[in-house]
Structure 1
Amino acid sequence: MESLVQPIESELRSCLSTYFVMPQLREHAQACVEAKLGESLLFGKMTVLHYRMFAGEDDRIYRAAAAVELMILSLDIIDDLQDRDNQEVPWSRFAPEIALNIALGFLTVSQKLLLTSGFPLERVQQAVQVLNRQVLTAIHGQTTDLLNAVASEEEYVAMIAQKSAALLVSACMIGTLLATGEWVEQVRHYAEELGIAAQIKNDIRDLLCWDRKNDFLNRKRTLPTLYLLQSLAEEDQWVAHYFEGRLPVEEILHRREEWERVLEKTGTLLYTSVRMRTHYYRYLELVGKLNLESGWKEQMLAFAE
């Protein structure tokens, strides 16, 4: 699937000169796109993969894939502006109001690319509707995340189904709709399961780092932190006290080794990994039920690794 990258890159770079006419804005937008191109372009690849595996043959799918990646990039920028925990990306070095304008521009251009992709009008309209609906769903999930008010593991999984998984559903369904003109519920289902598994995997990673992205240091309610808080021994109640705001961050920054021992004692990482794999295995099961040639299934499984 690496052969997909160059056509998607070309579409992304081309749209900058077309739609960002102010030199400074274009320069900043270019920096953001180049940062995105340093990533895997997973969402764009999934768009193309679903188009191809449902017998789509037109190379215009790369324009649609670029549209999906711009949508993802716009939400990444907005997410980082809200969380203020990622200083390594270009948009964190811009004035927040400029970064926000770039994000709004990317979100608008993503729809423009879909509308001008050249596919039959009915299918284009379906694709735009899916993109808009899933973005709105993700906004609801992101708002729930920002409020940090989920009270149970079930509520948290429902939230990430809205937030993270909804965007993967968008990528897969846009490719499917442009190829078939039909909503395939099985695609939505397995894309959601994979999206949930991927977010839980990120939760584990963010719990292990000891910097600004650590969910415990940020007192974020995630699947692992929710499990951890209900599994603490009496001698480890400092963890709950910090999470409740009764201790300042300065009093626990030196306790990293103790924190890691608490994670091990409570079995938090093991439990969370099991929950992650449950959703991953559901994804595998649903993909296995697709009436597709084995080569397509292998590529679908490779994306989940």
Structure 2
Amino acid sequence: MKDAVERSVDWLYLRNLLHRFIESKQTFPFAELCYLHANVFNSENDEEELYKLMAAVELLVLAFDMFDDLEDLDNFTEPWMDIDRGEAINSSSFLYTLSLSHIHSLSSPYRSEILGLFLEYALQAMKGQHIDLANAVKTEKECLQMMRWKSGSLTALAAEAGVMFACGKRYEEVKEYGHQVGIAGQIENDYKGLFTPHKQDRKFLKPSLALLYLQRKFNQTSVDILQYVHSGKDFDEYFGSIVAFKEKLLEAGVTQYLNVMKHIALKKAETYIKKLPLPAEKLDELLTNLIKK
């Protein structure tokens, strides 16, 4: 990722700024997903070219992470949130464009197809983000569809890009389980976000599976948590501690509900993986890395 910046940015100030954003990333799960699929579908890839593709995937994801934080005005611990807003927006746009440029520089015979995947899934992710920003979700079905576009598109992109690089093919199964793995990951992240103090938008205040569940008011505890949602207080101030808050979520059934929804998504993903025309050991490699870990 840094190499891509080095080759494209000759202004030291901007180069250092982008390096700072890249260095803030602790893990690179989308690059790993891309690498996994490339090697499952072809064990003799050009490693140098594959790493360029992986960098492009992570550059795109980083740009979308920045867009998301800047649009939601949350996650203020990230380095792009403590600089001039205009610079941050332009930096995220630069990284987005750089990811596409990096694809264009590939020598792969499937370069055009890979670029098409990037554009297709970027548009889907943007559509999902806009639905989220507009608070347009009213039902569980609509919420899952929004998550499929907003988050599932990026996991589907990483998986499909790896496959396309490896063999020049698209598999409907890869697209579908990519989306489902993304939904499962988003459900888990949304749950963790409920306990993150620096998430200033307070995830309950936006349409989400958790809020939609609570609004059905299955029990008095759900009503109590809804009162907290609109109180303007932090969970530790309202409930006394994070432990007490987690107990309330259990009593209301929120924790169990989100866990069930996550495992439904993973079960769907597993079903699609098993439909792929691959040897048993390859299927097991996908299942181990995507479902069982």
TM-score normalised over the length of structure 2: 0.89
1:161 aligns with 2:153: no
Structure 2 residue ranges without an equivalent (≥5): none
Letter matched to residue 125 of structure 1: S
**Aligned counterpart in structure 2 of residue 287 of structure 1, from 249, 273, 281:** 273
Mapped contact 2:34–2:158 kept (Cα < 8 A): yes
State which drifts further: 273-282 or 56-65: 56-65
User: How many Å separate the matches in 2 of 1:252 and 1:80?
Assistant: 24
Number of the residue aligned with 2:46: 58
Letter matched to residue 98 of structure 2: V
Mapped contact 1:228–1:263 kept (Cα < 8 A): no
Distance change (3 Å), C-alpha of 1:15 and 1:237: same
Distance change (3 Å), C-alpha of 1:28 and 1:145: same
Mapped contact 1:61–1:117 kept (Cα < 8 A): no
User: How many Å separate the matches in 1 of 2:120 and 2:191?
Assistant: 29
Mapped contact 1:48–1:175 kept (Cα < 8 A): yes
State which drifts further: 173-182 or 285-294: 285-294
Structure 1 residue ranges without an equivalent (≥5): 1-11
Letter matched to residue 238 of structure 2: H
Number of the residue aligned with 1:142: 129
1:254 aligns with 2:275: no
Calculate the aligned-residue CA RMSD, in Å.
2.2
Number of the residue aligned with 1:233: 219
Q: Please show how residues 46-195 of structure 1 align to structure 2 within 5 Å.
A: 46-55=33-42, 57-59=45-47, 60-120=49-109, 123-195=110-182
Mapped contact 2:125–2:149 kept (Cα < 8 A): yes
Number of the residue aligned with 2:3: 14
Q: Deviations over 1:109-143 (max 9, x none)?
A: 111111111111xx211111110111111011011
User: How many Å separate the matches in 1 of 2:287 and 2:235?
Assistant: 44
State which drifts further: 24-33 or 257-266: 257-266
TM-score normalised over the length of structure 1: 0.86
Distance change (3 Å), C-alpha of 1:83 and 1:45: same
Distance change (3 Å), C-alpha of 1:100 and 1:217: closer
Number of the residue aligned with 2:199: 213
Q: Sequence identity of aligned pairs in percent?
A: 26
Give, in angstroms, the shift of residue 256 of structure 1: 4.7
User: How many Å separate the matches in 1 of 2:211 and 2:232?
Assistant: 18
Give, in angstroms, the shift of residue 217 of structure 1: 5.9
User: How many Å separate the matches in 2 of 1:104 and 1:131?
Assistant: 15
Q: Deviations over 1:239-278 (max 9, x none)?
A: 33454x5x44379943355644431222111111011101
